[in-house]
């Protein structure tokens, strides 16, 4: 049995340790924001100092003047918005059908989808790029959206959430003469709300932050997204000094919406991530697909 005094020390050290970890977590983000107000000389001054000498907006000005940053921003918003809207819609339709409706081939089709979750992205990377260039989608918005609106994870997530819909409710609606699509639209969809929110957030984040795919299929400066545009700023400036201040300004501006989104919708994001974990674990029960 531990004495109250020992308990207090344990409690104190726990709180201190968590605080230290919290500071380590935050420092890079705070550093990013503060560096965006500094000149390159000040960013690399020694010893390092967090606070800028003055709150100068010149990095932001030259970022917007010297790079198509506003364009990158609009591109990122557009690509992510399309994916964020389309994925929950497509996946909830299919996920609902797999969870609640009986039809020939349901088991086989679902097994096919289930198996594919173990195939990593890099396997399809090369053929997908070839496909894009064959159909003339390289450097078009199509390449950034269409291939990504039907992720397997989304089907799992939606199927999982759709199970919770009471089948009696659907039956009753049928007896009342509602059409199949109307049942989905007016009864199922509202009940899937939290799942849809979680999926939308996960998809928004992965689209907003994706790097290797846009790096491959986007060519012109004007069609870049934020991550590839920002990372490209260091290579682009070869010969001249790397524009660190502008890069930090860009990194700050590009992180603001996702951090705001996270703080506003944390609950859904975490619920969705953990639900996703559960569905992936269910791979082990491949043989027992319902």
Partner 1 sequence: MRAHEPSRASAAYRLQGGRSPYAFIAPFLLLFAVFFVLPTLASVALALYRWNGAGAPEWVGFSNFRHLLSDPVFWQVARNTAFYTLASVTVLIPLGLVTALGLNSHALRFRGFWRSIYFTPVVVSAAATSLVFQILLSRDAGLLNGVLGLLGLGPVPWLQSRSWAKVGVFMVVAWRSLPLLAVYFLAGLQAIPQELQEAAMTDGAGAVKRFWHITLPLLRPVVLFVLVLVTLNSIQLFDEVQILTEGGPANASATVMQYLYSRGFERLRFGFASSVAALLFGAALSVALVEARALGGLRDDREV
In the complex with partner 1, which residue's Cβ is closer, 74 or 273?
A: 273
Burial of 158 (C-beta count, 10 Å sphere; 0-12/13-18/19+): buried
Least distance in angstroms from the C-beta of 252 to partner 1: 8
Least distance in angstroms from the C-beta of 54 to partner 1: 19
Least distance in angstroms from the C-beta of 15 to partner 1: 6
Kind and range of the H or E element at 145?
helix 141-145
**Distance of alpha carbon 114 from alpha carbon 159, whole angstroms:** 12
In the complex with partner 1, which residue's Cβ is closer, 74 or 130?
A: 130
Is the omega angle on the peptide bond into residue 47 within 30 degrees of 0, that is, cis? Answer: yes
Burial code (b: 16+ CB inside 10 Å, e: under 16) for 114-150 equals: beebeeeeeeeeeeebeebeeeebebbeebbbbbbbe
In the complex with partner 1, which residue's Cβ is closer, 56 or 282?
A: 282
In the complex with partner 1, which residue's Cβ is closer, 57 or 212?
A: 212
Residue located via tokens 């907003």: 208
Least distance in angstroms from the C-beta of 104 to partner 1: 9
Cβ-contact 83, 148 below 8 angstroms: yes
């Amino acid at each position: 049995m531990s004495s109250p005094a020992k308990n207090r020390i344990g409690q104190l050290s726990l709180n201190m340790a968590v605080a230290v970890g919290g500071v380590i977590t935050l420092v890079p983000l705070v550093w990013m924001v503060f560096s965006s107000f500094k000149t390159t000389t000040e960013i690399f001054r020694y010893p390092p100092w967090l606070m800028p000498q003055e709150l100068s907006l010149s990095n932001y000005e030259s970022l917007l003047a010297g790079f198509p940053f506003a364009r990158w921003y609009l591109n990122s918003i557009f690509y992510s918005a399309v994916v964020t809207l389309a994925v929950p819609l497509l996946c909830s339709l299919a996920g609902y059908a797999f969870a609640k409706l009986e039809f020939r081939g349901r088991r086989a089709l679902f097994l096919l989808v289930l198996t594919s979750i173990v195939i990593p992205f890099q396997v399809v990377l090369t053929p997908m790029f070839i496909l894009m260039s064959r159909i003339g989608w390289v450097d078009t918005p199509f390449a950034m959206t269409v291939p990504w609106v039907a992720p397997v994870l989304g089907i799992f997530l939606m199927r999982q959430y759709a199970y919770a819909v009471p089948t009696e409710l659907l039956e009753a609606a049928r007896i009342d003469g509602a059409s199949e699509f109307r049942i989905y639209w007016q009864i199922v969809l509202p009940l899937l709300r939290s799942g849809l929110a979680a999926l939308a957030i996960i998809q928004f984040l992965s689209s907003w932050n994706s790097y290797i795919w846009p790096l491959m299929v986007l060519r012109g400066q004007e069609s870049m997204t934020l991550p590839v545009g920002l990372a490209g700023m260091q290579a682009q400036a070869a010969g001249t000094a790397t524009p660190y201040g502008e890069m930090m300004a860009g990194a700050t501006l590009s992180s603001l919406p996702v951090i705001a989104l996270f703080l506003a919708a944390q609950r859904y994001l975490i619920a969705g991530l953990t639900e996703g974990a559960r569905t992936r674990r269910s791979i082990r029960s491949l043989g027992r697909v319902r």
